[in-house]
Structure 1
Amino acid sequence: MDQRVSFITLAVRDLAASRAFYADGLAWEPALDVPGEVLMFKVADRVVLSLWDETAFEAEVGQPINRGGGIAPITLAHNCATTEGVDRVLAAARVAGADPVQPGEQREWGGYSGYFADPDGFRWEVAYNPGPIGQEVLP
């Protein structure tokens, strides 16, 4: 198996709310938009973020979604070339309706990052990582 990720799929409660947040609020351009079913965004070379209506997700995966308390044990990340870029993205997410979870701050690992949540509570890290791996993921 090749070492890569092709799709990241998130089951969402309200696809219209996700569309309003990502497409309208953050101005992301959908690569595929099937109302009531799925919304897909090309987020990198050969990588797609898929937002799938949770009922359709459960029908295909075959198990009910466990939505217990707390946050999902996953973060998605958007890296920026500067700390100012981090603050701009966090501000844009707030305008789009994101729940500002944590503002940008210096981290003990040498970078700068903050977090926001999308309409389903999935946490996005917005980060400036000055190390080689952080620079490698920038466009």
Structure 2
Amino acid sequence: MKPRISMITLGVANMAKAIDFYQNGLGFPRHGEGEQVAFFNLNGSWLGLYPKDALAEDAMVDSNASGFNAFSLAHNVGSEAEVEQVIQQAINAGATVTKTPRPTDWGGYSGYFKDPDGHLWEVAHNPHFWIGPEDTPK
């Protein structure tokens, strides 16, 4: 098996609100139309949005689970200024900051926000390990 994450699907309470947050608020490029499901191209992987109840039904799990989901999504950027910029863009789009951007104990810089459905996103600059299209392993 060649390990990879090709798509992350988030279960959301309000499709229109979630689509607006990611497409218009954060500027993620959307593929297709409609509000039954939404897909966003993330330069090598995809973000999917699907109604929370329908996603739970498809996975055959309880849709009423609540609390901390024990995971976060990460968006790595090229500088501390970009961390600040992305966090501010998320705030402007309706996100809630859970950790203001700050230096980390591992030598980087990061902050966290929650999207309208409470999914955690870390925005980080790691000067030791940058993930970007120009840094594809040779």
Q: In structure 2, give the amino acid aligned to 1:73.
A: A
Give the structure 1 partner of residue 105 of structure 2. Answer: 108
1:102-126 superposed Cα distances (whole Å, 9 cap, x missing partner)? 1110000110000111011001000
SS in 2 for 1:33: coil
Aligned pairs for 1:3-14 (under 5 A) are 3-14=3-14
Normalising by the residue count of structure 1, what TM-score does the alignment of the two structures yield? 0.89
Range with bigger deviation, 104-113 or 48-57: 48-57
Give the structure 1 partner of residue 25 of structure 2. Answer: 25
Cα distance in 2 for partners of 1:59, 1:107 equals 39
The Cα of 1:88 is off from its aligned counterpart by 0.6
Instruction: Percent identity, please.
Output: 36
Aligned pairs for 1:28-43 (under 5 A) are 28-35=28-35, 37-43=36-42
Give the structure 2 partner of residue 81 of structure 1. Answer: 78
Q: In structure 2, give the amino acid aligned to 1:42.
A: N
Bigger share in strand: 1
SS in 2 for 1:114: strand
Query: Structure 1 segments of 4 or more deviating over 6 A?
Result: none
Q: Which structure 2 segments of 5+ residues have no match?
A: 134-138
Normalising by the residue count of structure 2, what TM-score does the alignment of the two structures yield? 0.89
Q: Which structure 1 segments of 5+ residues have no match?
A: none
RMSD, aligned α-carbons:
1.3
Cα distance in 2 for partners of 1:2, 1:80 equals 25
